[in-house]
Amino acid sequence: MVYINMHGNPYEMGEQHGKKFKHLINKASDELCSFPNLSLSQTKKQIDKYVSNLDTYFPEILEETKGISSASGLKFEEIIKLHLWEELNDYDQGCTTIVFSDSKDGPILGKTSDIEDWQQPYYMLQKVTPEKGYKFIGIGKVGSSKVEIGLNENGLVIGTGSTKPTDQIRENALERMTLVRLALQYCSNTQEAIDFFSQYYFINLGLYIVLLDKEGNAATIEKSRSNQAVCYPNDKGILFATNFYYIPEMAKYMDKNAFYYQNALERFITLSRLCNSVSLEDGVTSMKKILRDHSPVGPICAHFVEKGLGSFFAYIVKPIDLSFLLTDGYPCNNSFKRIKFPSN
């Protein structure tokens, strides 16, 4: 996984990003941004609408995008396509997220990134010290402001996974992983993040959003294009999510034709069994055991070699001491290495 330390105003951070990953950003643009199912006019319409919405709500993301564009040599519109390539390709992926709201090691969030092997080079570990907002560590993708999982200096953790909704797209929608990044930058705890996400809509694809803070407050937001609902940990203080809508009022918005739908159900059943038997007294040790699970049906550590799909990254985050652990490779045969939180 590639790494960058960004700091300063939005344009400066974009320049740092674009300069360091110029070659990789150009390669990602060539590989990811063809959109064969859309005409040029359809693509332009969606890009223009997204830029307009960003200008209304978060113009700092546009400034950062301009910085990436300038330093990478790609046109501004091409960098916006890298923000939107999943939405415009109607592409999403599977992931698993688990929370222990309390354990011997304090609150813990664990997560896998279940992705295709061709995506691995574009995953980026970023340490961000913005001019405004909170410092954070995030895992995103080069050439964009997208963040899949992150931890900020207040001890707010956000872990996510894709969902494929069927409800209506709203006019003032924003890109889902960019909203995750913005929540890390501007929210200090779980409740603030719930309130933040409730104000915005998603373009095309959905998310489950698992939240945890240093006080042990945890929640899952299941969010589609136009709707969302929230659930909280069970009596044992455990919460987990896979790639479908579990909350009854959200279930009707799930596209059951999503390629990972059956596997998401199987992983959820596996998690129900594992989390029912796990000892919270073992804290991080128990979380590692779950993330390394190889159940014959619904494994948490996925190795679907024939599909080029697997749990190529995994994370364990402890907000109480700003601890962010990462495996660069399958969690079953790689150690979790601690990433130092930015001090500047």
Longest dimension (CA), the chain: 57
Burial 87-105 (b: 16+ CB within 10 A, else e): bbbeebbbbbbbbbbbbeb
Burial of 22 (0-12, 13-18, 19+ CB in 10 A): middle
| Mean pLDDT for the stretch of residues 108-115 | 97
CA angle 267, 268, 269 (to 5 degrees): 90
Question: Residue 344: its pLDDT value, please?
Answer: 63
Choice between 305 and 167, residue whose per-residue pLDDT is larger:
167
Q: Is the pLDDT of residue 270 over 90?
A: yes
CA nearest to 147, candidates 157, 139, 136, 137:
139
Q: Is the pLDDT of residue 343 over 80?
A: no
Helix (H, G, I), strand (E, B) or coil at 136: strand
H/E run at residue 8: strand 2-8
Choice between 92 and 10, residue whose per-residue pLDDT is larger:
10
H helices present in 5-106, as ranges: 10-20, 22-32, 40-57, 59-72, 76-88
Question: What residues contact residue 333 under an 8 Å CB cut-off, 6+ apart?
Answer: none
What the block records as the tokens of 313 is 């990254």
Q: Is the pLDDT of residue 93 over 80?
A: no
Choice between 271 and 280, residue whose per-residue pLDDT is larger:
271
H/E run at residue 324: strand 323-328
Alpha-carbon gap, residue 300 to 290, rounded angstroms = 7
Four-residue CA torsion sign, 276, 100, 147, 341: negative
Categorize the per-residue pLDDT at 179 as very low, low, confident or very high, splitting at 50, 70 and 90. very high
Burial 189-204 (b: 16+ CB within 10 A, else e): bbebbbeebeebbbbb
Alpha-carbon gap, residue 336 to 288, rounded angstroms = 9
Categorize the per-residue pLDDT at 279 as very low, low, confident or very high, splitting at 50, 70 and 90. confident
Alpha-carbon gap, residue 160 to 231, rounded angstroms = 14
Q: What is the pLDDT of residues 296-332, one digit of tens each?
A: 999 999 999 888 889 999 999 999 999 999 999 999 9
Question: What residues contact residue 58 under an 8 Å CB cut-off, 6+ apart?
Answer: 174, 178, 182
Backbone angles phi, psi at 130, to 5 degrees: -80, 160
Question: Residue 37: its pLDDT value, please?
Answer: 86
**Least-confidence region, from 88-97, 108-117, 141-150, 210-219:** 88-97
Alpha-carbon gap, residue 116 to 119, rounded angstroms = 6
* Average pLDDT along the chain: 95
| Mean pLDDT for the stretch of residues 143-153 | 97
Domains and CATH numbers, the chain: 2-88 (no CATH), 94-339 (3.60.60.10)
CA angle 313, 316, 322 (to 5 degrees): 125
